[in-house]
């Protein structure tokens, strides 16, 4: 066998000829340009190994040369390389392949767990196939190879080590990362979407949406527009998941994930589960042992917090307050006594009422930032006190959803000496010792025990 230019032959312990290239300054500077000697003969790390036999519709076809990719690196590499494609390469587990970096087209045969061919794709160079979520393994070969071998949709394929031995299990997942589009592992991916500016959609979010088998959306119309903006075909992948049907949808989506589907969950804006649908679905997936991943991104909570000018080291996300009733009163009281910065959301037609209620429970001097239309064209952030905020909102018609960032409650003022003295006197008059009186007063008034004890001993001596 003749070595490619710049390569030298060596022999491994298995007596299989492999190739390694001598280093050069050009290649050291540009490692991505180093040619690959052909995946059908490589036995080093990331190589293909074994020489199984392909069975088609229950009949062995030893004349069809087939190899199995042994590692995840080999599966990702596929048939990439300058060597001509003359046989088949089995990628398992796998449900999506590519021809990026290749110079010749290939056939990709997607096979289900039971060996049934689901799809035969013809890929030109530089393309990525759409994922086939029921696929458990893929057979790659030269263009036209599937037809020449008699493989079509519905054909039953099986890979055996050699004739007469047990079938090799294509569902072996060793080395595959759950949730990887190149693997057959199902996963729920929480994808953060822009809160106003479509330019905030990250490349990773685009990739997650592009490779998803199912896109679960709070509003399918808005998500379809987002996918169109990103150049992603929606097809029939969109399903609705909102606050009214999330509980019912959860079981259906978990079952699809268990069968290998990659489900991307998105809301109208921001991160799923934060004042939006997603919490129930995640809980059901976790209870079912399903893998859950997140693609972080835009968040109205963090955007409002960091531009507010208020302390950000410790904060509380309160979200939307109840519209009325006892629960609203209790939540407002909790905000009033919260020492950390609090972030609330409010609709434009209720923001004036909420600010007035905050003045009533927190006092007019509490600092606040009123942010609206964050990341959009008419974004604005007003900063001041709660009392001034009421006047500010009344002076202009509120538009768009608002984020209210309220400063934490100030620490309680320490009682003066007269208050502490009166409390100590009451305990001493009731017959308590100076030590016991000091302990009781310190616990009830929140003052240092030493201060209360000094006052108690002073009263005892008087």
Banded pLDDT at 341 (limits 50, 70, 90)? very high
Judged on CB neighbours under 10 Å (0-12, 13-18, 19+), 392 is: middle
What average pLDDT does the chain have? Answer: 81
For the cut 80, the answer to whether the pLDDT of residue 52 exceeds it is no
Say how far apart CA 157 and CA 141 lie, in whole Å: 14
If you average pLDDT over residues 227-245, what whole number do you get?
A: 86
For the cut 70, the answer to whether the pLDDT of residue 434 exceeds it is yes
In the chain, where are the structural domains located? Answer: 37-160, 187-297, 301-406, 417-461
Banded pLDDT at 37 (limits 50, 70, 90)? very low
Say how far apart CA 349 and CA 307 lie, in whole Å: 23
If you average pLDDT over residues 144-172, what whole number do you get?
A: 71
If you average pLDDT over residues 120-127, what whole number do you get?
A: 90
If you average pLDDT over residues 36-60, what whole number do you get?
A: 55
For the cut 90, the answer to whether the pLDDT of residue 367 exceeds it is yes
Instruction: Please give the backbone phi and psi of residue 102, each rounded to the nearest 5 degrees, phi first.
Output: -90, 160
For the cut 90, the answer to whether the pLDDT of residue 295 exceeds it is yes
For the cut 60, the answer to whether the pLDDT of residue 245 exceeds it is yes
Query: CATH fold of 187-297, please?
Result: Cobalt-precorrin-4 Transmethylase; domain 1 (3.40.1010)
Mind giving me the DSSP string for 388-447? HHHHHHHHS---S-EEEEEPPPPPPPPPPHHHHHHHHHHHHHTT--HHHHHHHHHHHH--
Of the two residues 232 and 342, the one the predictor is more confident about is: 342
The predicted structure's pLDDT at residue 51: 59
CATH of domain 301-406: 3.30.950.10
Q: Do domains 37-160 and 301-406 have the same CATH topology?
A: no
Banded pLDDT at 176 (limits 50, 70, 90)? very low
If you average pLDDT over residues 393-415, what whole number do you get?
A: 86
For the cut 90, the answer to whether the pLDDT of residue 12 exceeds it is no
Q: Tell me the β-bridge partners of 216.
A: 239, 265
Both tokens of 279, joined, read: 């919490």
If you average pLDDT over residues 287-297, what whole number do you get?
A: 91
If you average pLDDT over residues 175-192, what whole number do you get?
A: 65
The predicted structure's pLDDT at residue 161: 60
Both tokens of 256, joined, read: 């699809």
For the cut 90, the answer to whether the pLDDT of residue 2 exceeds it is no
The predicted structure's pLDDT at residue 81: 67
Q: Which is nearest to 139 in space by CA: 124, 125, 154, 120?
A: 120
Banded pLDDT at 301 (limits 50, 70, 90)? very high
Instruction: Give domain 37-160's CATH number out of 3.10.580.10, 1.20.1440.230, 1.10.10.60, 2.60.120.1140.
Output: 2.60.120.1140
Least confident of 185-189, 412-416, 451-455: 412-416
If you average pLDDT over residues 355-378, what whole number do you get?
A: 92
Phi-psi region of 392 (alpha: psi -120 to 50; beta: other; left: phi over 0): alpha
């Amino acid at each position: 066998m003749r070595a490619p230019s710049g390569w030298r032959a060596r022999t491994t312990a298995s007596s299989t000829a492999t190739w390694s290239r001598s280093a050069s300054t050009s290649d050291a500077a540009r490692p991505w340009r180093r040619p690959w000697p052909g995946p059908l003969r490589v036995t080093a790390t990331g190589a293909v190994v074994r020489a199984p036999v392909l069975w088609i519709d229950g009949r062995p076809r030893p004349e069809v040369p087939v190899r199995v990719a042994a590692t995840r690196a080999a599966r990702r590499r596929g048939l990439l390389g300058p060597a001509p494609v003359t046989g088949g390469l089995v990628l398992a587990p796998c449900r999506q392949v590519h021809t990026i970096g290749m110079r010749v087209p290939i056939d990709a045969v997607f096979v289900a767990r039971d060996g049934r061919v689901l799809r035969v794709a013809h890929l030109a160079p530089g393309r990525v196939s759409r994922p086939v979520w029921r696929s458990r393994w893929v057979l790659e070969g030269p263009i036209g190879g599937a037809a020449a071998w008699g493989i079509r949709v519905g054909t039953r394929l099986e890979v055996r080590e050699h004739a007469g031995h047990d079938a090799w299990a294509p569902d072996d997942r060793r080395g595959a990362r759950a949730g990887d589009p190149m693997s057959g592992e199902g996963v729920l991916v929480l994808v953060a979407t822009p809160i106003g500016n479509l330019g905030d959609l990250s490349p990773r979010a685009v990739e997650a949406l592009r490779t998803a088998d199912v896109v679960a959306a709070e509003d399918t119309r808005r998500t379809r527009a987002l996918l169109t903006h990103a150049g992603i075909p929606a097809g029939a992948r969109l399903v609705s998941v909102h606050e009214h049907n999330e509980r019912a949808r959860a079981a259906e989506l978990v079952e699809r994930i268990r069968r290998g589907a990659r489900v991307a969950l998105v809301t109208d804006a921001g991160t799923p589960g934060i004042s939006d649908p997603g919490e129930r679905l995640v809980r059901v997936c976790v209870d079912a042992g399903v893998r859950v991943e997140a693609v972080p991104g835009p968040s109205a909570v963090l955007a409002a917090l960091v531009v507010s000018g208020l302390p950000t080291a410790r904060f509380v996300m309160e979200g939307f307050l109840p519209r009325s009733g006892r629960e609203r009163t209790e939540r407002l009281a909790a905000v009033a006594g919260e020492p950390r910065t609090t972030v609330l959301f409010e609709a434009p037609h209720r923001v004036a009422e909420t600010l007035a209620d905050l003045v009533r429970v927190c006092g007019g001097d509490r600092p606040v930032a009123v942010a609206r239309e964050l990341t959009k064209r008419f974004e604005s952030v007003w900063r001041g006190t709660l009392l001034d905020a009421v006047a500010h909102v009344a002076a202009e018609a509120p538009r768009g959803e608002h984020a209210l960032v309220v400063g934490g409650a100030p620490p309680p003022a320490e009682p003066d000496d007269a208050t502490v003295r009166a409390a100590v006197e009451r305990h001493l008059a009731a017959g308590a010792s100076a030590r016991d009186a000091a302990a009781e007063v310190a616990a009830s008034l929140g003052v240092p025990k030493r201060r209360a004890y000094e006052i108690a001993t002073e009263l005892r001596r008087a």
